[in-house]
Amino acid sequence: MGFEELKQRHSVVWGTGPYERISATIADLQDELVDRLEPAPGVRWLDVATGTGEVAKRAARAGAEVVGLDLAPALVETAKREAEAEGLDIRYDVGDAEALHYEDASFDVVSSSCGVMFAPDHAAVARELARVTRPGGRLGLACWRPEGTLGDMFRVMAAYAPPPPPGVGSPFDWGREDNVTALLGETFDLDFVSLDSVLVAPSAEDVWELFATCYGPTKTLADSLEEERREGLRRDFVELHARYEDEEGVRMPRAYLLTLGTRR
Ligand SMILES: C[S@@+](CC[C@H](N)C(=O)[O-])C[C@H]1O[C@@H](n2cnc3c(N)ncnc32)[C@H](O)[C@@H]1O
């Protein structure tokens, strides 16, 4: 399978289920990312792989002129509906982080929360982020660290999934300083911050129900498995989250890397 076919598949996978319920579980990460990038009236802001638009909405509430872009048409529809309901003036586009359809240097701020890490061609993403950010403009990327619990969750799922096509970069490489420096170090001055986003849920079983119905990659995988393997995936998924459960429920820290850049 080539990258184009893979992305075609991604554009459907991410849009299955009400992703906005998952996005709500990383509200702490989205707050942190937006605060660090200091939204203000008149700032031209691009949120790449915006999903249902949570980061875009935060920036727009502070007065920024926001464009949000995502590969999944179904998520862009939700983002538009939610922004309209709140009276926010945000432009949302369906598009690919590897080939942005914006002019060179057209944004003061470019952000992505757990977003561009999922595009298969990392070098193309890095090139595009640098191309659309104006000199002196700011970049903010929040990406899961490979050794963190989100990495554990993807390892649980990988045991039940076909292997990715050859040449596809691991999304979690965007959670490693050395790799991000190799990708962006020539075009941006970079700073890194290591943080945790905490997943809070009533129980490990609730986490499974949430992800198996609302998180595209988990839902698509679960729906593709015959009963016995689906039950195995459910059991392993619940077991992982139960390690962070006590009588008050689940509180699972999820390590992420915040990359902050200034365009040279
Ligand atoms: C985990 S979601 C994060 C969404 C959002 N940033 C948030 O904070 O909730 C990953 C998003 O990346 C998008 N995505 C994956 N590959 C992409 C690509 N090549 N170009 C643009 N968006 C992409 C998916 O459609 C999905 O909305």
What is the per-residue pLDDT for 222?
A: 98
- Alpha helices, H only, 26-148: 27-36, 54-61, 73-86, 122-132
* For ligand 1, atom 14: residue with the closest CA: 49
* For ligand 1, atom 10: residue with the closest CA: 115
* For ligand 1, atom 3: residue with the closest CA: 115
- Alpha helices, H only, the chain: 3-13, 20-23, 27-36, 54-61, 73-86, 122-132, 149-158, 177-184, 204-214, 216-224, 227-242
Asked whether the predicted pLDDT for residue 152 surpasses 90, the reply is yes
Pick from 45, 70, 214 the residue to mutate for probing ligand 1's pocket: most ligand atoms within 8 Å of its CB.
70
Determine what percent of the chain is predicted with pLDDT higher than 70. 100
Residue 69 confidence class, pLDDT cut points 50, 70, 90: very high
CB contact set of 153 (below 8 Å; sequence gap of 6+): 237, 240
Pocket residues: Cβ below 6 A from ligand 1: 7, 10, 14, 23, 26, 30, 49-51, 54-55, 70-72, 75, 96-98, 113-115, 118-119
Residue 166 confidence class, pLDDT cut points 50, 70, 90: confident
Residue 134 confidence class, pLDDT cut points 50, 70, 90: very high
**Mean pLDDT along residues 171-192:** 98
Contact yes or no for 233/207 (Cβ under 8 A)? no
Residue 212 confidence class, pLDDT cut points 50, 70, 90: very high
Residue 175 confidence class, pLDDT cut points 50, 70, 90: very high
Nearest to 255 by CA among 174, 179, 139: 174
Residue 28 confidence class, pLDDT cut points 50, 70, 90: very high
Which own/partner pairs from 230-234 qualify as long-range (CB within 8 Å, at least 24 positions apart)?
232/160, 233/156, 233/157, 233/160, 234/208
**Mean pLDDT along residues 57-70:** 98
- Residue ranges of the domains in the chain? 3-263
Asked whether the predicted pLDDT for residue 22 surpasses 80, the reply is yes
Mean pLDDT of the chain: 97
Nearest to 138 by CA among 34, 24, 248: 34
What is the per-residue pLDDT for 2?
A: 83
Q: Which fold has domain 3-263?
A: Rossmann fold (3.40.50)
Other beta carbons within 10 Å of 9: 12
Asked whether the predicted pLDDT for residue 1 surpasses 80, the reply is no
SS3 258: strand
pTM > 0.85: yes or no = yes
The alpha carbon of 87 and the centre of ligand 1 are apart by a number of angstroms equal to 23
Asked whether the predicted pLDDT for residue 139 surpasses 90, the reply is yes
Pick from 6, 10, 77 the residue to mutate for probing ligand 1's pocket: most ligand atoms within 8 Å of its CB.
10
| pLDDT tens for each residue of 83-105 | 999 999 999 999 999 999 999 99
What is the per-residue pLDDT for 48?
A: 98
Distance CA 258, CA 145 (A): 10
What is the per-residue pLDDT for 45?
A: 99
Determine what percent of the chain is predicted with pLDDT higher than 90. 95
Q: How far is CA 204 from the centre of its chain?
A: 22
